[in-house]
Amino acid sequence: MKAEPKPISQQQGIKPYFENEITILRKIGEGGFGEVLLAEYNDKDEIEEIAIKKMNRLEYKHDCFETEFKQLFELKHENIISLFGFVVNQPWIVLPFYKNGSLKNQLELYNLNLKNKNIQHQFGYDTRMKSLQGIWEGKLYLHDNDVIHRDIKPDNILFDNEMHVKIADFGISRTLDPGKAHISTTNMV
SS3 of the chain: helix, strand, coil, percent, to 5: 30, 25, 40
Catalytic-role residue among 45, 146, 151, 169? 151
| Catalytic residue flag (residue 63) | no
Q: Of 180, 188, 160, 187, which Cα lies nearest the Cα of 49?
A: 160
Q: Quick one: residue 41, left, alpha or beta (phi over 0 = left, psi -120 to 50 = alpha)?
A: beta
Known catalytic residues? Answer: 151
